Amino acid sequence: MQGSARKNCLRKKKLTKEKEYMNQPEHKRVIISGGGTGGHVFPAISIANALRRIESDIELLFVGAEGKLEMEKVPAAGFRIVGLPVAGINRKNIFKNIQVLFRLIASLRIARKTLREFRPHAAVGVGGYASGPVLRQAGRMNIPILIQEQNSYAGVTNRLLARKASVICVAYEGMEKYFPAEKIILTGNPVRQNFDDLQAKKEEALKFFGFSAGLPVILVLGGSLGAGTINRCLSENLEVLRNSECQWLWQTGRYYHDDVRKLVPEQGGRISVHSFIDRMDLAFAAASVIISRAGAGTISELCLVGKPVILVPSPNVAEDHQTLNAMALSAKDAAIVVPDSEAAKRLVSEALKLVTDEGRRITLSGNIIKMA
């Protein structure tokens, strides 16, 4: 009996703490979780900036994964962030997943503690490792959940979390096959807001990157971490790049920057190499043609930018969703798609061909901007 009474007492204390969430603070509080790559981090920051424009005194807290991009970019954008030790499943070495399990348990504990202390009115998940623990705990604590699903194919984590979600914001039609229809709002993807009037920034952009106004610029994007196929393709064709009548603005991603730097040590020539480009507005303003992976957030930005695009979808993603994203544009003649397996042979030649074909560039630009 004594043990039972003690359990009842502890249960009552727990319920009392949960009821404290009903007494919300005066200012609205929102917690935003997720990250891992720029495709998750920058939409999350865009959401935060939009919330702050709507209500200037709103309190915002990010939760990300330790060691990931968000731990650098979120504070740089002026927001506070808490890191979780969460990590992804190791498919190559299943024994390492024992450590992944312990990290998940620790992350769930930290997420719950963070939610208790911050007392948010709502929890927003943008995808990435940190979203799962935060939204799972928020659901258990009856905190309203908003899921932001960027892709045309919904990931397993978001599908599992959808049961507890109040609202699910999507970028593509037909998402009822993954989520309850009554919870879905077709919003499109959040993007950075500094892409207005890029033409007016072109002169500034060329000076910023040390380029000449007389030659076209091919912007190469492989995401914040980098795209191995794209980087290898350009690395193996350096003489072609140097001898072309083009300038190359090459974002390698942090995983590949050191290796590419050894091959292209000089700056200020026709090839400008960067681990990461902070001023994407200037990069887009300078570009005549853009080569890119086909992540959902990137595609949303490219539609706004309205420049001719060659997409190289990554095959290393769930259900090959980048190919689905890319083909949605290709079907409307809004982008050229080069499969990852064909990039070594075709990518550089397709880019150089497009640079010289003004009519094709005009067609692609006109069609992609209709999809913004």
Report pLDDT digits (tens) over 270-292. 999 999 898 999 999 999 999 99
pLDDT tens digits, one per residue of 63-111: 999 988 899 999 999 999 999 998 877 666 777 778 889 999 999 999 9
Residues 187 and 124 sit within 8 Å (Cβ to Cβ): no
- Dihedral, CA of residue 243, residue 247, residue 252 and residue 253, to nearest 10: 180
Rg (CA), the chain: 23
Length of the chain measured in residues: 372
Model confidence at 22, in pLDDT bands (50, 70, 90)? Answer: very low
pLDDT at 179: 95
Residue 295: pLDDT band (50, 70, 90) is confident
On whether the CB atoms of residues 249 and 219 are closer than 8 A, the answer is yes
What pLDDT, in 10s, does the model give residues 233-270? 999 999 999 999 999 999 998 888 888 888 887 765 79
Helix pair 358-369, 343-355: axis angle to 10 deg: 100
Q: Give pLDDT tens digits for 176-200.
A: 999 999 999 999 888 876 677 888 9
Residue 347: pLDDT above 90? Answer: yes
Q: Is it the case that residue 367 has pLDDT exceeding 60? A: yes
Q: End-to-end CA distance of the chain, in Å?
A: 65
pLDDT(47) > 90: yes
Contacts (Cβ under 8 Å, ≥6 apart) of 329: 299, 303, 309, 311, 335, 337, 368, 371
3-class DSSP assignment, residue 249 = strand
pLDDT attached to residue 133: 95
Q: C-alpha angle 187/34/86, rounded to 5°? A: 155
Q: What is the pLDDT of residue 140?
A: 95
Look up residue 162 and give its DSSP letter.
T
In Å, how far are 51, 63, 112, 207 from 29, measured between CA atoms?
10, 13, 16, 42
pLDDT confidence of 19, banded at 50, 70, 90?
Answer: low
| pLDDT band of 13, cuts 50, 70, 90 | low
In whole numbers, what is the pLDDT of the chain averaged over residues?
88
139 has pLDDT over 50: yes
pLDDT interval class at 15 (50, 70, 90): low
The pLDDT of residue 23 is above 60: no
Q: Are 192 and 46 in contact (CB under 8 A)?
A: yes
Tell me the residue type at 198.
Answer: L
